[in-house]
Homo-oligomer: A and B are copies of this chain.
């Protein structure tokens, strides 16, 4: 009897709207748990609305990956949902305001991707200063045997590097810069009491006192075009800008002008204002390095994030605190 009863147990249901790329990458067993089971909307022939109505009272949480939107309408159809777990750091595909209004908790990727972004920022910095991508082009074009002199780069050690936004990513960047003998200072909304790097409340003053600026902050109304022409001119002719934040933190048009006129020294850009469009004038410049929003992420970190998502779901169904709760004002 006990055994029979055991098989009849109904695990709480976790809705999955779109097939998570993690299912294909790591196998579905990787995501299984004895605390809940998945309800896969994407395997049903029913229209989503009907499917959700049918399961309205059994779905307790949503596993949101692959950017499948979690709208107010979906939340309305699932009144018992108390948690949305995402495998991304940003939650712009989720109606966060509606979640908050309904008392639905949110969990995200936390800081798992910060190391990847920081690694990439250092890669861009070394590349711009030491001209790595340009060197690779030079060799592949067969120019080395013709013109033995490839221009010298510039040394990392001793460079004054200003970090804009000393959060999780910025702190990882700083840690790496120290190993290269760079001198770190930073700008952020507020001075961090636990940090000993020099703090500049004004980003323009930070630029004036830096050889390199690395943009690591989030894009908000306050940081939109934070890096304007004045900041770029303060950075100066030999100054280098690295952006692993968001394109619109820099006034891109002004930056392109400064690069073309030699008013700044170089740039390493993973993000742009109108992705996937990149200003074509940059393609001709050897002192810039361009990448297609690749700083986040790697399969290794994504695996960690998927593990974290399952752990958040298990914590929730065990009445334990979430590992990486997302506060709406983050």
- A interface with B by C-beta (< 8 Å): 115-116, 119-120, 122-124, 126-127, 130-133, 135-140, 142, 144-145, 148, 150, 152-158, 175-176, 178-181, 275-278, 283, 289-292, 294, 297-302
A133 & B133 in contact (Cβ 8 Å cutoff)? yes
Of B154, B179, B291, which is within 8 A of A300 by CB? Answer: B154
A132 & B123 in contact (Cβ 8 Å cutoff)? yes
Return the chain B residue nearest A123 by Cβ: B126
Report chain B residues within 8 Å CB of A158: 300
Question: How many copies of this chain does one complex carry?
Answer: 2
Return the chain B residue nearest A302 by Cβ: B152
Q: Which 6 A-B pairs have the closest CB atoms?
A: A123-B126, A179-B179, A155-B300, A135-B291, A155-B298, A144-B276
B298 & A152 in contact (Cβ 8 Å cutoff)? yes
A179 & B181 in contact (Cβ 8 Å cutoff)? no
Report chain B residues within 8 Å CB of A145: 276-277
B132 & A132 in contact (Cβ 8 Å cutoff)? yes
CA distance A300 to B211 in the complex (A): 14
CA distance A179 to B153 in the complex (A): 23
Return the chain B residue nearest A268 by Cβ: B132
Return the chain B residue nearest A176 by Cβ: B179
Closest beta carbon of chain B to A218's beta carbon, Å: 22
